[in-house]
Structure 1
């Protein structure tokens, strides 16, 4: 049963030749299964010995034919004759293509071989003749130079244990200690061990050298295991892991890779005529900003995996979502504008749909805005692993080629790592502007990179542009994204109120179409609508109406802005609005002076013609306001104190009614007026002192003269009521 279980194991087999040969050739080679694992010099000598054996076969057949004896065999003496050696050497030289001499070469250095003596030749010939079925003649004739030398160990087992302990304790650490650090620890351990051995009467151990200690480590671990122990498994996977040996895409746009890489870009704001007008404080601030910008430029690149064709490239100050969306927009649009702008002669990649996008976990790539945009245009998004170069090797290699061919030649290059260029001042030599860098990148990715031979896996030395054209002719590409879908998910959005003139976005760009006005009337749109524009192509825009089933395409109405990008339009408008401070001050003074002169002339005309004043002062406005509001308040009437309500005067129980006289009799009568109650005389001082109101339209002078000084009226004597008449008793 155990035999059957072992036979079922993977790789198990039965050696049927073992009973006949005993595996003698494998034992002769020292465990090697074939001569192909041995050095080239040994394999070459095996070919020479095989050629000699075959030449000896020819010589034996010649002798048998000559003597007519089919059973004739060679011997040491017969082979050692000069004529036999000459015959065998000539035939063997033709077989192995090496010159084999009978006599030694005289003078100088030669690569010719000298034939063996007869006994040696017969030893090899007998081994050749004694080969069994399935045995290789080269394995039987190859020299065993790899087994020469003393193979016994000269270091005792205890010392090897101490060296192993030293490597495990000190050497195999992520801090990557040197061999000398391990040797120092081993020396201390051997010193402690020697004290113990002296007490036991044993000889001391000898401290091995650094080379012996390093060879002991190499015997314990493989290079990959050493790399994992000292550099970590992540770095070991990148350096020792398998590369990309598969065709990951067959169509254009099927799989694309994007990545971001920081560059050392130096910009300058010291343009002629601008730097001189700044104050010292402004120059200091601008210098600090300039230094900050030099450290923070970043390049984003998208590569098509099937053809290695660059699809998009963007320069950004910081990796962010907006820069990544600009990269997606460039890959899905036409790039003829960049070609014409920078005078390129090559053909850039056409607009293509993005089926599968592979990016890393950078902040500018792995965010909600970018993932939502990819989902909106029906793309697959894959986030690769951190520090896993094989997940997207094509764009990683493109960055290395870009830096080697372009970045190293630009002034202001700082090197791939800190301190790589100790004698070069990148900040001092940084004069490249962002526009110039974009021009260099565009010309490289359109004219140079697609026309350079590519030796990546699957390319086989072909040029990316030729592969791109071949794939388009045979398999095609992913169809471009729908224009409305592209603007809605990758473009810029604004909410505006539509009018009869269309929609107005970015404070001055008008878009309109007949369909927009018709749908606006049919749906009765009164509020705001959403407008989506492509910043790289402002000729068309997409409008989404509330309750609208389909998006509407509108055209730009300002023909001066046709075929311009949105940043260019905004820059043009800003340039038109920007004004020289000196010119602005001149025009401001002129406008203010003109306004004052016009006011003075109008005032002079009013004085000249005696026009009444049509304006009021602050005090006059306050006085008139008080007159307007005086008496305008309506107060709720209240009952007087100790008064009786109407209808309750004759009530005996009502409040405010008092009895007159003694008893419970109430009298009713009429009061007669006294003489003093007669009408006042015309010469009454009280009547004369009352001022008559002046006419409202009287002049101010007349109103002031009509008022007389007040005269105090004399005190009037107290009046008494007369007794009532015609009193009747109430029943």
Structure 2
């Protein structure tokens, strides 16, 4: 059977259970009897339940009605223990207690020496030289500091001097009469905190005016000083004194600035003053509580990210080529330099469980793209940066993001970032802006970065405007963005993880050690799937697939057997979506419009393997960059070669009398005027066995174009161009009339018989018949 403890609770003592005070009435065989002093309702609590209630938070025992229960509180002026008094008073209480214990040892020793068990002590007995030397040795041992027998000079001394016999006896009598529940330290402590004149020195009327001054004027958002409030109080006191003088009452005196400030401190607390003067938001930052709990146990379980403007001037000028630039290029680069100097922002993500930096980005425009780059860096390893910048430490590995907390900055709180986090299956919490207690870990990290790193870099501007009045940060801002990123990378990989961290849950351990310990004991959040990571965090391109795969960013090809198979089976002819990770271009993800599968394709250009997208684009830019002199030589060579080939072909055509297959501009203009001069095209058939006027002697019978009006045929010209006859001659001969007639192409579709009736033929001018006898 389990033993249930039964505690001795004095009758009349108070116990707080469930935030209610209960008075002990007694103890029965079943449990304790309590009573509610407010309602008088009795309660009976069994012994086992009372033991369980003691484990709950808020359960407290209060002093009961005993001989020494309220002695300490009454003597100390309301304080429950001497630990609440000043350090000097506590030292004196310890010194007095050591003296009383030494007197006990002195009495025991003298009674044993004299063989008188009833030996009594007196002030004269304690003033004896041998006894004082005995007490000094014992007190020095118990008290831990050197005690002297007498004071060599008058006044107050920093040395501990053994009291005279009368004072020693006084403290010992108090020590003897102490109840068992009272500490000697509380009974023998001096009451220096109760000394002094406690009566108010300001009259009620003056305090009323001081209250009005603070209540109506002093607690303003503009933050008036004590001197401003005192000036306002002078007006109030002056008006009151004028009234008092008329009634022959003594005038009120003006309080000092210290009295006015002390009166304000009695009226309101520092927190209330901060809310009244600086606003609720600033008061929460100044007086609000931070985080005093271990918020995460796994790496990646809870991360915080934030953006902060760097207190640093960075130059956009590239070293070594400034003298080679033209004046126009220099002016443009100066404008870019000024823009970067004013808009540089650092984005950082930190793991709360280990305090390890997961990602860091420098951006001149902290928008969604910069935040997505921060998320991509956090979910991949940082070994490329480690090798590139020569870091000796080990950066954080790729991890998933369980809970991401950020504020409502423009680059953090936007639709693209929130959609990406939702696609990553991460919980996103948007904290309040300008509320440092909502994100205490990342805010503290920015302070460390500025005080440990940025303050040492050339171009540091200070934490606030005008903090460094004698330093020209703009003139010393010689670092460019790439150099700053290299310094920042080495700090977050080599320096910060090796610094002792005294935050909540760290205990002075280093983030790198905590990261390894958590990884060995509890592990990390599993990383994201590579395809889903590229879809939600990568860059998207819409391209048309071909037999060579998909081509993105102008010249980077990806392909796979599965892509070609799906393309043939689904008969895909339109565009598909391609997602790439700009930090790893070896693979890409393709989403087909009619396919339920997500395809992974491989990079086809081996020269681009293990390169980032910016590096590939820079390489392609280098390839396409030409020397101006060499470019002009090649262009001149192309022009000369093409001119020589054209002249050679023209000479061959003229020598061999090859007809032209093209029309000149002037010929096209004349034909266009004839075609579009309001004419209509009529399908008129040519009369059989007839020719155009002026062509009677020609023996050929090819198709003709005749000029006609509504009345009939007027003139005609053959469309067959004879060798040596230009097109302009035909047009000129056909347009010899007053107005440009309508051109009507006449094409014979069927050869008519000779005996056809004249009425069935078209009206017009007939030529000379070939057989006159047949017409008779």
Distance change in 2, residues 1:95/1:439 (3 Å): closer
Q: 1:692 to 1:88 in 2, by over 3 A?
A: closer
- Whether 1:16 aligns to 2:64 is yes
Structure 2 equivalent of residue 488 of structure 1: 535
C-alpha distance after superposition, 1:139-177 (max 9, x if no partner)? 222222222222222221111111121122222111111
1:4 to 27, 38, 47: 38
Cα deviation, 1:244-273, whole Å, max 9, x if unaligned, reads 211111111001111111123422336545
Structure 1 Cα separation of the partners of residues 484 and 60 of structure 2: 63
- State the Cα deviation string for residues 17-70 of structure 1 (Å, max 9, x = none): 36x458343222222221112222222222222222223333333454456554
Give the whole-Å Cα distance in 2 for the aligned partners of 1:699 and 1:82.
Answer: 156
Q: Does 1:398 align with 2:445?
A: yes
Deviation at 1:86? 4.0
Q: Aligned ranges for residues 167-246 of structure 1 at < 5 Å?
A: 167-246=214-293
Correspondence for 1:261 = 308
Q: Residues 591 and 129 (structure 1 numbering): CA distance in 2 closer, same or farther, change over 3 Å?
A: same
Structure 1 residues 350 and 99, CA, compared in 2 at 3 Å: closer, same or farther? closer
When residues 590 and 273 of structure 1 are mapped into structure 2, their CA distance, relative to the original with a 3 A threshold, is farther
The change in CA–CA distance for 1:626 and 1:217 in structure 2 (over 3 A counts) is closer
1:633 alignment partner, one of 682, 702, 716: 682
Which residue of 2 is the match for residue 299 of structure 1?
A: 346
* CA gap 1:66/1:695 in 2 versus in 1, 3 angstroms: same
SS at match of 2:434: coil
Cα distance, 1:605 vs structure 2: 3.0
User: What secondary structure does 1:358 align onto?
Assistant: strand
CA displacement 1:276-326 (0-9 Å, x = unmatched)? 442x44433332232112111111111111111111111111111111111
User: 2:316, 2:336 within 8 Å by CA — same for their partners in 1?
Assistant: no
1:695–1:6 distance in 2 versus 1, CA, 3 Å = farther
Higher mean displacement: 281-290 or 620-629: 620-629
Q: Which residue of 2 aligns with 1:448?
A: 495
- Which residue of structure 1 aligns with residue 716 of structure 2? none
Farther-moved stretch of structure 1 (26-35 vs 318-327) = 26-35
Taking the aligned partners of 1:568 and 1:57, their CA distance within structure 2 comes to 87
- SS state at 1:165 partner: helix
Q: Which residue of 2 aligns with 1:515?
A: 562
SS in structure 1 of the partner of residue 39 of structure 2: helix
Corresponding residue number in structure 2 for 1:356 = 403
Cα gap change, 1:332/1:409 in structure 2, threshold over 3 Å: closer, same or farther?
Answer: same
Deviation at residue 628 of structure 1 after TM alignment: 9.1
Q: Is structure 2 residue 518 aligned with structure 1 residue 471? A: yes
Correspondence for 1:345: 392
**Is the contact made by 1:347 and 1:447 (CA closer than 8 Å) also made in structure 2?**
yes
Change (3 A) 1:271 1:190: same
Return closer, same or farther for 1:2/1:91 CA change in 2, 3 Å cut-off.
closer
Question: Is the CA contact (8 Å cut-off) linking 2:313 and 2:473 kept in structure 1?
Answer: no
Determine the structure 1 residue equivalent to 2:509: 462
TM-score when normalising by structure 2? 0.77
For these two proteins, the number of residue pairs brought into alignment is: 650
Residue 749 of structure 2: aligned partner: none
CA RMSD of aligned residues (A): 3.2
5+ residue gaps in structure 1?
Answer: 637-688, 708-731
- Indicate whether 1:435 and 2:439 are aligned: no
Q: Which residue does the alignment assign to 1:574? A: 621
Task: Summarize the Cα distance change of 1:147–1:622 in structure 2 as closer, same or farther, 3 Å threshold.
Answer: closer
Kept in 2: contact 1:98–1:112 (CA 8 A)? no
Q: Deviations over 1:543-581 (max 9, x none)?
A: 112232221111111111111111111222223223344
Decide whether the 8 Å contact of 2:315 with 2:477 is kept in 1: yes
Q: Which deviates the most, 89-98 or 495-504? A: 89-98
Q: Does 1:317 align with 2:364?
A: yes
CA distance in 1, matches of 2:191, 2:453: 54
TM-score, normalised with respect to structure 1: 0.82
Distance in 1, matches of 2:266 and 2:540, equals: 66
**Bigger mean CA deviation after superposition, 424-433 or 208-217:** 424-433
2:9 equivalent in structure 1: none
Q: Which of residues 208, 212, 222 is equivalent to 1:161?
A: 208
SS of alignment partner, residue 38 of structure 2: helix
For the structure 1 residues 156 and 566, does the alpha-carbon distance in structure 2 shift closer, same or farther, using more than 3 Å as the test? same
Tell me: CA distance 1:621–1:170, structure 2 relative to 1, closer, same or farther (3 Å): closer
